Amino acid sequence: MSLTFDDARLSQVDVGLALFQRHGLRATFYVSPDRLDARLDRWKEAVRQGHEIGHHSLTHPCTGNFTFSQGNALEDYTLERMGADLAEATVAIERRLGLRPVSFAYPCGQTFVGRGVNTRSYVPLVARLFESGRLWLCEDMNDPLRYDPAQVMALELDGKTFLEVRPLLERAREQGRWLVFAGHEIGAGGRQTTRVDTLEAILAMAADPANGFWLDTVGVINRYVQERRGRPAGTAVP
Ligand SMILES: [Zn+2]
């Protein structure tokens, strides 16, 4: 199981780090580099604590149907423009935190650029640049034998109670699936917020070896699985 959080929201380090530290567990944070500056020391502390810093693009392009993305719409992108955005974000993250992310999360979980007959997938670009690419709002978990690391499925954690997510944890354990959760803020409740009580309960359950879970970062679990599947970590897809 992996717990992932997007956009470098302030509450991830203000609230989340202490929760993870208490249980000795690690998350993957997919960051938008300009958002790091408001809490740069805390993000450096997150790195020291072993959390994974993932890549979430520089300008967070999504479909122009979202009001926030009207001026930066995927429908207006080309693969070249997307490649430039990703390269710039890599430099920006490296400059701030001294590391190069190996894990990517598609902004809004969307994997296309362009529109109509000119639409292209940027999954191959992500496959060349990163060890994995995480989707968003998916319907199921990852089958370790079959999933494509460039399209890791993720289920929403925001707003969920522990009663709602518990059956997913149990099914992941029974079927040997890799369950990836994705969230945004970490707090008591509210919009795009992973509830602290839910997170505490998941961490407590995962931290006790008797419960039979393995919770770690996307980078660690994906690399483990890919090595078992016979493809060395970091090997680019042709
Ligand atoms: Zn995002």
Domain ranges of the chain: 2-228
Q: Are 181 and 136 in contact (CB under 8 A)?
A: no
Domain 2-228 has CATH 3.90.1150.200: no
Q: For the chain, what is the mean pLDDT?
A: 96
CA angle 16, 21, 26 (to 5 degrees): 75
Please tell me the predicted confidence (pLDDT) of residue 233: 52
Give the Å distance between the CA of 182 and the centre of ligand 1: 10
Give the Å distance between the CA of 193 and the centre of ligand 1: 13
For 75-95, what is the mean pLDDT? 98
Evaluate if residue 234 carries a pLDDT over 60: no
For 184-206, what is the mean pLDDT? 96
Evaluate if residue 225 carries a pLDDT over 70: yes
Evaluate if residue 11 carries a pLDDT over 80: yes
Q: What gap in Å lies between CA 194 and CA 185, rounded to an integer? A: 6
Give the Å distance between the CA of 7 and the centre of ligand 1: 5
The pLDDT-based confidence of 109 (bands split at 50, 70, 90) is: very high
Amino acid at 186: I
3-state secondary structure 125-183: HHHHHCCEEECCCCCCCECCCCCCHHHECCEECCCCCHHHHHHHHHHHHHHCCECEEEE
Give the Å distance between the CA of 62 and the centre of ligand 1: 9
For 170-189, what is the mean pLDDT? 97
Distances (CA, A) of 81 to 27, 58, 65, 120: 30, 11, 19, 12
Give the Å distance between the CA of 8 and the centre of ligand 1: 9
For 208-216, what is the mean pLDDT? 96
For 150-173, what is the mean pLDDT? 97
Please tell me the predicted confidence (pLDDT) of residue 230: 86
Question: Each residue of 29-77: pLDDT tens digit?
Answer: 999 999 999 999 999 999 999 999 999 999 999 999 999 999 999 999 9
Q: What gap in Å lies between CA 179 and CA 165, rounded to an integer? A: 11
Please tell me the predicted confidence (pLDDT) of residue 227: 93
pTM over 0.85: yes
Give the Å distance between the CA of 228 and the centre of ligand 1: 30
For 100-107, what is the mean pLDDT? 98
Question: Each residue of 116-142: pLDDT tens digit?
Answer: 999 999 999 999 999 999 999 999 999
* Residues bordering ligand 1, an ion, CB closer than 5 Å: 6-7, 107
Give the Å distance between the CA of 106 and the centre of ligand 1: 7
Give the Å distance between the CA of 107 and the centre of ligand 1: 5
Please tell me the predicted confidence (pLDDT) of residue 236: 57
For 148-170, what is the mean pLDDT? 97
Give the Å distance between the CA of 30 and the centre of ligand 1: 8
